[in-house]
Structure formats: C-alpha cells, structure tokens
Amino acid sequence: MNKKLASLLLGFALSATAFAATPPVAATPQIKTGKDGQPVKSFVERAEMLKKRAQKGGFDIIFLGDSITHQWERAIDGKTRTGGKPVWDAKLAPLGAEPSGIGGDRTEHLLWRVENGLFDGKSDPKLVVMMIGTNNTGARMDPPADIAAGVDAIVKAIQVRKPAAKILILGIFPRGAAKDDPKRVNNTHANALIARLADGKKVFYKDIGGVFLTGDGVLEKSVMPDLLHLNYEGYNRWADAVIPEIKKLLGK
C-alpha cells in the first residue's frame, strides 16, 4: 500500500471515530454573521424571503442547500452558461418542487433556517431533497465527521417539524478537477459518513456525483465552469439523475 493511500485510509478511520465521539461543531445553529459580528444582510433578507415563500405552501418537494441549490433560480448567464432556471421550470417545477438555497450556506446556516420557520405555516412537503456541506469544506476544511454531524442535526430538526416527510440526502457534489483534490477528498469522506444516516424508511441517501465526472473521475469545466458550480448542462444532469429517485419515493 502506498503512503498516500494509507494516509487517506487513516484519515477516514479517524473521521469515522470522531463522528461517534466528538461534539459536532458544524451542527450548531447559527445565523450568518460578518467580520464585525453582525448578521449578514443578504443572508437575513433571503432567509426571510424563503421562509415566507415556503410558509405559503403549495409544493410537495423542497430542495434545501447552498449556492448550488440557490442557482436553480438563476437565469442562464450568457458568458458562463451557469444557472438552472430553465431546467427547473421544465423538469422540476411540474413535479411540485420548491427551491430553497442560499449562497455560502454551511450546515449550521441551513440548520438555523430549519429551526427558524422554514417548515411553519402551510409549508408541508412530502419530500425534502437536501445537499449541503461543500462550503464547510471550502470555507474551513471541516472534518468529515463534523460535516456529517451537521447534516444529521438538520435531518433530526426536519423530522421534529415534519415527521411524515421523507428526506432524500444527496451526496455532496464533487469539486476540483482531479479526484485527489483535497477538497473533493474531504467531501468524499463526509459522504461516506452521511450515507449512514439513511434508514431506508424515512431518510434516504443518493450519491449522483458520478454524473458530473468523466470515466476516469475528472471534473471538467464544461459541466462546472469554476469546478464547483453547475452550468446549464450540469443542472440538466442533476435533474435527470434525481427525478427517477423523486418519483420512486413519492410513488409517482
């Protein structure tokens, strides 16, 4: 066994141990604040807007996440071709889906949103589709165990509020061009722990990351121009990969 592989395996083992034994720093509910300690206005305003929109109800599925989910609502950018709104309108809106993402969100920010009204009022989804955690890696390289603990806290918070809803956790999407990119490796290890949260009854896990990669594991800019955010082609691949799972879970 080469030293690099041994190191990765050791890191995974330590993460798995930490998942069971350490307090999850990423699971702490937290409103987003700036360097001055004050709430970030853009986060507060969008969180409030998404909360009020969700509380009106009228949807069966809600997608929760960060900027990758946020950009389901973005029109196609003429230069980078990023943005998923045309795909959403054509493929997911007809299923009764609602997007609820905020750029820059980490697990603790999404947890704060869930615990502060996102599922109040007439918000009563049959299915929650969630993909969160890549900003925990990108912002401060949180250990995989902490990322998974954050996701677990969000799942539990949703279940307290909507016990009848099914939850589909998507594996954190790949990032970085190469499969040994440190941030991609961190997300991969987090996914291995997140997958354990599925019980096959109310909580389900699906890793669709492979649809964005070449056969040898390379992430190309033709799908993610900045090797993190999807373009139109990427959103098409996401929709096509997740729709069969959604229909299966909802019995459609």
Is 229 noted as a catalytic residue in this protein?
A: yes
Read off the tokens for 60. Answer: 């069966």
Give dist(CA 63, CA 202) in Å, integer.
Answer: 16
Instruction: List the end-to-end C-alpha distance of the chain, in Å, as a whole number.
Output: 47
Number of residues written out for the chain: 252
How far is the C-alpha of 77 from the C-alpha of 221, rounded, in Å?
Answer: 15
Catalytic, out of 70, 109, 189, 229: 229
Task: Give the active site residue among 77, 180, 226, 240.
Answer: 226
In order, the DSSP letters of 160-171 are HH-TT-EEEEEP
Give the Cα-Cα-Cα angle 107, 112, 118 (nearest 5 degrees).
Answer: 110
Task: Check the CA dihedral 47-48-50-55 and report its sign.
Answer: positive
Of 60, 67, 124, 181, the catalytic one is 67
Q: Are 154 and 111 in contact (CB under 8 A)?
A: yes
* Residue 221 burial (10 A CB sphere; 0-12, 13-18, 19+): exposed
Nearest to 50, CA basis, from 148, 119, 127, 137: 119
226 in active site: yes
**Residues tagged active-site:** 67, 226, 229
